[in-house]
Amino acid sequence: MEAVRKNNKLSKGNSRYSQKASELKSGYLFISPFFLLFGVFGVFPLIFTFYLSFQRWDILGETEFVGWSNYASIILNDPLFWKSVGNTFSIWALSTIPQLMAALLIAFFLNQAFLKYKSFFRLAIFMPNVTSVVAVALVFSAIFGTQYGLANFVLSTLGIDPISWSGSYFGTHVAIAVMVMWRWVGYNAIIYLAGLQSIPKDLYEAARIDGASKMQQLVYITVPLLRPIIIFTVVQSTIGGMQLFAEPLLFGEGSRSQGLTMTLYLYQEAFNRFSFGYASAIAWMLFLIIIVFSLFNLYLTRKISSS
């Protein structure tokens, strides 16, 4: 009897153990598609890029180990890279700052009780985001044509001299920034709108009773309570802005590379000049820059909105 009970206990424990193991197995099976794909398309390229960044490789020939020299020439002896960093930040600032402010205002407006056809406006403001970026770039390239463009025509009716959109720093940066803005302002507005709707109505009621104007409500209630969402959009736009590629590629980088962004430079190194090692090193520099800038951004946004 004693022995039987013992046996029972043992077998019970055993079966419990094996059941757990099989549960574990199927659990891993369930999540494996993601990890397989992530491994093939995420982790492997990451590691391989790191390896490549220490090589010289024209993709068809053999790799040749060059140590840190790719990084050294990027940092010390590559005016084009630093120019591309400058361009990226300039275009980012020109597009993101007005974009987020506009998105906030649009969201605030869309959230007002007096507004009719809300769904229509929400959909309409989001529409540009689903447009193909190639189509956007082509249409805007036509608008920002120097000789026959719509933008210069409008400026000329206002009595302003035509701007060489594709031939000057200012023109190219503004043209690309406008494309980015047009495409993303609605997306951010929708995110802000979701945030706005989570703010309790009674706060506004109380403010109204105290005689606060709409502007005061925006500044003293909406913005502080939206802080986490603002941080989210800032980080998102930062990452997106650092990776700006299709717009400058299709608009043209211009004769002095004034539209050359970091990712575009990376692409050109890899697929126009076939220096895959150098391009990989640029990719890692880009990674570092984005991390540093995102952290700085986070710090700044926190500081501003908490003060």
User: Site residues (CB under 8 A) for other proteins?
Assistant: 58-61, 73, 77-78, 80, 117, 119-120, 123-124, 127, 130-132, 134, 138, 141-142, 145-149, 164, 166-168, 252, 254-257, 271-275, 278
- 103-134 burial: b if 16+ Cβ within 10 Å, else e: bbebbbebbeeeeeeeeeebeebeebeeeeee
Which residues are CB-neighbours of 156 under 8 A, at least 6 positions away? 162
Decide whether 69 or 294 has the Cβ nearer to other proteins. 69
- Angstrom distance (rounded) from CA 60 to CA 41: 21
- Considering the complex, what minimum distance in angstroms separates the CB of residue 40 from other proteins? 14
Closest CA to 106 of 213, 180, 192, 182: 192
- Considering the complex, what minimum distance in angstroms separates the CB of residue 157 from other proteins? 19
- Considering the complex, what minimum distance in angstroms separates the CB of residue 43 from other proteins? 18
The DSSP 8-state label assigned to residue 303 in this structure reads H
Decide whether 114 or 120 has the Cβ nearer to other proteins. 120
Decide whether 10 or 123 has the Cβ nearer to other proteins. 123
- Considering the complex, what minimum distance in angstroms separates the CB of residue 210 from other proteins? 36
Closest CA to 51 of 292, 284, 243, 268: 284
Decide whether 70 or 111 has the Cβ nearer to other proteins. 70
- Considering the complex, what minimum distance in angstroms separates the CB of residue 163 from other proteins? 12
The DSSP 8-state label assigned to residue 68 in this structure reads T
Decide whether 192 or 278 has the Cβ nearer to other proteins. 278
Decide whether 98 or 145 has the Cβ nearer to other proteins. 145
Question: 264 in helix, strand or coil?
Answer: helix
- Considering the complex, what minimum distance in angstroms separates the CB of residue 134 from other proteins? 7
- Angstrom distance (rounded) from CA 88 to CA 262: 6
